[in-house]
Chains A and B, each alone.
Chain A
Amino acid sequence: MNCKEATRYISESMDRPLSTGERLRLRLHMFICHYCSDFSRQAAFLRKVNQQKSKPKP
């Protein structure tokens, strides 16, 4: 798995459960790739931004 594929899987993992094989390969990749680990944290942060933003305001 390269980074381009890993970013696709990271994005997809936020929208559907990955298969066991996909999950393992992604974890292995992230274990050795700090770029993709950062990417994953940042994608999760984007979700947080949107959840906070959509909280009803007075």
Chain B
Amino acid sequence: MTTPDDRQLAEFRDYLLRYALYRLRDEAAAEEAVQDTLLAAIQAKSGFAAQSSIKTWLTGILKHKIIDAQRKLCRDPFQLDDKLDEEGELSDFDSLFDKTGHWGSDGPRTWANPEAALEQQDFWRVYEECAQRLPKRTALVFAMRESLGHEIEEICQNLDITATNCSVLLYRARMSLRLCLEKNWFGRED
């Protein structure tokens, strides 16, 4: 049985960074989580079971570091750029609806063949730009739900927010991303 050497561990740095960045949506926090992971891995090489790949092992450590980082991010007062109202009332999107609460002239259009977009690199670039525009906490909760597949209870517990807060943030993310993709990708005239 061989244990990985430090050089081998470092080879996975880029992969781990992409992995963390996608989940945390914050470069500094992702860097830190990866550094902590590599440090923990170097200190605990004996914990590596050769039957799992180095990558799987590192990713396992990173997952724990990411949860710590998510908590930290969510509690950082400087990250609280998105306001949360306990009642869950949302006025941000009122302009999209008319007085009776129905879609105005700018209602969703039917997207032609969205599946095909997944094959196009340009689409992913546009999606990334749209995702970058989300407030940090909204982006974090959305990534936890949709990328990591966490249940709401888990997210609430990890981030110490209420289920209502959580559902408001998810709604906001879906509304914003949908609108952004429609404006910048699916609504294009070409």
A38-B145 contact given A2-B100, A7-B175, CB 8 Å threshold: no
A57: contacting residue among B18, B94, B111, B149, CB under 8 A: B18
A15-B152 contact given A45-B114, A47-B146, A53-B22, CB 8 Å threshold: yes
B111 touching A49 by the CB < 8 A rule? no
Distance in Å: Cβ of B29 to nearest Cβ of chain A: 17
A16-B143 contact given A38-B109, A39-B108, A57-B18, CB 8 Å threshold: no
For chain A, give the interface size range: 20 to 34
CA distance A24 to B83 in the complex (A): 32
A51 touching B147 by the CB < 8 A rule? yes
A49 touching B178 by the CB < 8 A rule? no
A46 touching B178 by the CB < 8 A rule? yes
**Nearest residue, chain B, Cβ from A12:** B167
Contacts of A33 on B, CB cut-off 8 Å? 102-103
C-beta contact mask, A20-58 vs B, less than 8 Å → 1, else 0?
Answer: 000000000000011110110111011111111110110
**SS class of chain B's interface: helix, strand, loop or mixed?**
helix
Number of chain B residues whose Cβ lies closer than 8 Å to a Cβ of chain A: 40
A35: contacting residue among B103, B142, B146, CB under 8 A: B103
Instruction: Report the tally of A-B residue pairs with Cβ distances under 8 A.
Output: 89
Contacts of B102 on A, CB cut-off 8 Å? 2-4, 33
| B window 69-118: CB within 8 A of A | 90, 93-94, 97, 100-103, 107-111, 114, 118
**Nearest residue, chain B, Cβ from A48:** B118
**SS class of chain A's interface: helix, strand, loop or mixed?**
helix
Contacts of A36 on B, CB cut-off 8 Å? 103, 108
A49 touching B118 by the CB < 8 A rule? yes
**Nearest residue, chain A, Cβ from B118:** A52
B167 touching A11 by the CB < 8 A rule? yes
B108 touching A38 by the CB < 8 A rule? yes
CA distance A45 to B143 in the complex (A): 15
CA distance A57 to B141 in the complex (A): 22
Residues of B within 8 A of A (CB): 15, 18-19, 22, 59, 90, 93-94, 97, 100-103, 107-111, 114, 118, 124, 127, 142-143, 145-149, 152, 166-167, 170-171, 174-175, 177-178, 181-182
